[in-house]
């Protein structure tokens, strides 16, 4: 079988590509400006190599915070323009304010303007080229699904939503029955015979199998897959693809095979990692509480006039190993918010006061939880602690829900920076998928990623 080749950059490859060429494009244009114009503020040479490294570090950090490496947003130029301006402005500001590692301020202040324009222009040109070339359809990964027709909507939606360059071209129904579907109206439906012809005709680069052996993978179909594998066709299992693309663990597809599927991160027992994780928690707690004290007059006045009641709110939550503790928060709801019983908060919840909505959007209501971190009841990063009544309810409805209690709950977490406020069982399931991914892949670098994403959430006012 002769398969047409097509080029595709995976998620990690595209992020590396973006980071690398962001730095290269900025340094290249600054070098060109230095050659063509009388520009001596920033020089690229062996004598001043530190200047380039510091600029690259600042650019990477702030581009991460302002979501220039969010692949969904990186393919939309109108969003990219806004994020480039924010990134360039803060990067240049920090660069100017740290003259110990960077050039001294020039006598001709116009050079600062040239420097700022060069950073912006280089990023605009490179990111436009990325959208036109790398995000173009010719670089899509073209996928063939093997699954039950009843699951096709949820499978395609979850994969394409998480990676805009991951395109499901068609599917083979492994079930004996046919079902109605909505999302897949643009997809092609193929028969189970001669898959190799489908691969060639539609330039398929990957086959994803989302059907257990007992549900439609016949001997004939299995033999075809083996032959395709021998001919170099990439064949992968759906749960692995789902986790890689969405950064979530698909608990609804794991069934009861728990111990095989959850080889949790060694960091959960690594004493050195846990030590630095604790130090990081204490550092951010002192920083957060200090900031809280600094703005306490604003919080007190806002609560006095717009909340009309106690400033603080105490509530019982479930912590590590199911142990109960009292969480500290700034009150964001009316005093008698739960007179009719406990229920999930929702978007536009009438129980949330006007000042409380500001506290939630800015995440300021979470500041007192740093006291819980200092007491050792919480970490800065981890699954959000739920109330006992909701834990009992969700544990009965969602498989593996209580696994999230094997580590300390957090002030922020992988679920908080990737999904919306939990309003239903489906939202709770999605949050659990992210929480389990964090527990499974927990590491220093993932923690740093969460911190950056949390800063983005605060800056863009996305708290709920």
Per-residue pLDDT of the chain (464 residues; tens, 9 = 90+): 555 556 667 777 888 999 999 999 999 999 898 888 777 788 888 888 898 999 999 999 999 988 899 887 888 888 899 999 999 999 999 998 887 888 888 777 788 888 999 999 999 999 999 988 887 766 788 899 988 888 888 888 888 777 877 888 888 888 776 666 665 557 888 887 788 888 988 888 899 988 765 566 777 888 888 888 888 888 888 888 888 888 888 876 665 555 555 556 677 778 899 999 999 999 999 999 999 999 999 999 998 888 888 899 899 999 999 999 999 999 888 877 666 666 666 666 678 888 888 888 888 999 999 999 999 999 999 999 999 998 998 888 887 888 889 999 999 999 988 887 666 777 888 899 999 999 988 888 899 989 988 988 888 766 55
CA distances from 279 to 8, 274, 379 (A): 41, 9, 10
**Secondary structure of residue 377 in the 3-state scheme:** coil
CA distances from 89 to 94, 120, 307 (A): 9, 9, 36
Among candidates 441, 334, 293, which has minimal Cα distance to 381?
Answer: 441
Distance CA 148, CA 173 (A): 5
Among candidates 5, 7, 47, 54, which has minimal Cα distance to 27?
Answer: 54
Phi-psi domain of 67 (left: phi exceeds 0; alpha: psi -120 through 50; beta: other): left
Residues 6+ apart with CB under 8 A from 73: 67, 79, 80, 83
């Amino acid at each position: 079988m002769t398969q047409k080749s097509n080029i595709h950059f995976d998620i990690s490859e595209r992020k590396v590509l973006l980071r690398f060429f962001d730095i290269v494009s900025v340094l290249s244009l600054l070098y060109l400006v230095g050659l063509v114009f009388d520009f001596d503020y920033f020089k690229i040479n062996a004598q001043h190599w530190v200047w380039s490294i510091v600029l690259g570090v600042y650019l990477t950090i702030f581009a991460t915070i302002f979501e220039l490496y969010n692949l969904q947003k990186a393919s939309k130029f109108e969003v990219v323009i806004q994020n480039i301006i924010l990134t360039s402005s803060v990067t240049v500001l920090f660069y100017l304010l740290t003259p110990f590692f960077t050039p001294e301020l020039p006598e001709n202040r116009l050079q600062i303007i040239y420097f700022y324009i060069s950073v912006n222009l280089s990023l605009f040109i490179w990111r436009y080229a990325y959208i036109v070339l790398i995000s173009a359809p010719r670089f899509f990964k073209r996928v063939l699904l093997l699954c039950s027709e009843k699951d096709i909507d949820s499978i395609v939606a979850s994969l394409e939503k998480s990676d805009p360059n991951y395109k499901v071209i068609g599917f083979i129904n492994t079930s004996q029955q046919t079902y109605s579907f909505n999302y897949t109206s643009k997809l092609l439906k193929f028969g189970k015979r001669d898959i190799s012809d489908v691969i060639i005709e539609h330039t398929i680069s990957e086959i994803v199998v989302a059907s257990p052996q007992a549900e439609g993978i016949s001997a004939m179909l299995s033999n075809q897959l083996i032959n395709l594998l021998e001919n170099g066709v990439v064949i992968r299992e759906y749960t692995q693809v789902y986790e890689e693309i969405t950064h979530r663990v698909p608990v609804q597809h794991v069934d009861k095979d728990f111990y095989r599927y959850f080889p949790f991160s060694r960091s959960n027992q690594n004493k050195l990692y846990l030590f630095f994780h604790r130090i990081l928690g204490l550092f951010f707690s002192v920083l957060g509480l200090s900031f809280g004290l600094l703005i306490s007059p604003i919080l007190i006045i806002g609560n006095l006039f717009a909340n009309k009641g106690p400033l603080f709110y105490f509530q019982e939550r479930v912590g590590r190993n199911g142990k109960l503790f009292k969480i500290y928060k700034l009150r964001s709801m009316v005093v008698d918010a739960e007179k009719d019983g406990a229920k999930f908060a929702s978007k536009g919840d009438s129980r949330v006061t006007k000042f409380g909505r500001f506290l939630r959007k800015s995440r300021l209501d979470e500041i007192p939880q740093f006291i819980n971190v200092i007491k050792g009841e919480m970490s800065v990063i981890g699954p959000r602690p739920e109330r006992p009544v909701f834990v009992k309810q969700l544990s009965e409805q969602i498989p593996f829900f209580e696994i999230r209690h094997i580590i300390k709950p957090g002030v922020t977490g992988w679920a908080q920076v990737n999904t919306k406020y939990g309003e239903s069982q489906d939202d709770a399931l999605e949050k659990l998928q992210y929480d389990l991914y964090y527990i499974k892949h927990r590491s220093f670098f993932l923690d740093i990623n969460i911190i950056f994403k949390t800063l983005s959430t605060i800056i863009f006012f996305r708290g709920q």
